[in-house]
Amino acid sequence: MSQPATPEWSYVQALKNPRLALFLGGVAFSGIGDGMLIAAIPLLAMKIHGDLPVAIAVSLAAAAPFVSSTLVALPFSLGTRRFPVRGGLVSDCLLRGAALAAAGLAAVSENLTIFALIGALFVGSCLRSVGTPATRLAALGMAPSHGRFAVNGLLATVRQFTLYVVGPAIGGLIAGFASPEWALVVDGATFLPLLLATLLVVPRSPSTRREAKENESGLKVMRRLPVAWRLLIVVFFFNLLYMPVEVALPLLVNGPLGGDGKALGVVWTLFGAGALLGALATNFLRSVPQVPLMMGIIASWGATTVGLALSQNVASAAVAFFVGGVVYAPFTPVAYSYLHTFLSEKDEQPVLTLWSTVSTLAAPIGLLAAGPLVHALGGRGAVFLSAFLILALALGMTRMRPMAPPEDPPPAAPAVQLGKHQQNRET
321 to each of 59, 248, 295, how far by Cα in Å?
20, 13, 19
pLDDT on residue 416: 35
Domain boundaries, the chain: 11-207+215-403
Which of the 8 DSSP states describes residue 147? G
- For residues 311 and 245, what is the distance between their CA atoms, to the nearest angstrom? 13
All residues at 6 or more sequence positions from 109 whose CB lies less than 8 Å from its CB, including other chains: none
Which among 390, 146, 151, 164 is positioned nearest to 277, based on CA atoms? 164
Q: Print pLDDT tens along the chain (427 aa).
A: 444 456 778 778 888 889 999 999 999 999 998 888 877 888 888 889 888 888 788 888 888 887 777 777 776 666 666 678 888 899 999 999 999 999 999 998 888 899 999 999 999 988 887 888 889 888 988 888 778 778 888 888 888 788 777 887 788 788 778 888 888 899 899 999 999 999 999 887 665 554 555 566 667 777 777 778 888 889 899 989 998 898 888 888 888 887 777 788 788 778 888 888 888 888 787 778 888 899 999 999 999 999 999 998 989 999 999 999 999 888 888 888 888 777 777 777 777 777 777 877 787 788 788 888 888 888 889 999 999 999 999 988 877 665 555 554 444 443 333 333 333 333 3
Q: How far apart are CA 378 and CA 57, in angstroms?
A: 15
The amino acid at residue 297 is: I
| pLDDT tens, residue by residue, 340-395 | 777 777 777 777 777 777 877 787 788 788 888 888 888 889 999 999 999 999 98
- Cα 59 to Cα 372: distance, rounded to the nearest angstrom: 9
Query: How far apart are alpha carbons 329 and 308 in whole angstroms?
Result: 17
pLDDT in tens, 314-341: 899 999 999 999 998 888 888 888 887 7
Check residue 33 and give left, alpha or beta (phi > 0: left; psi -120 to 50: alpha).
Answer: alpha
Contact 85, 198 (CB under 8 A): no
What is the architecture, at CATH level 2, of domain 11-207+215-403?
Answer: Up-down Bundle (1.20)
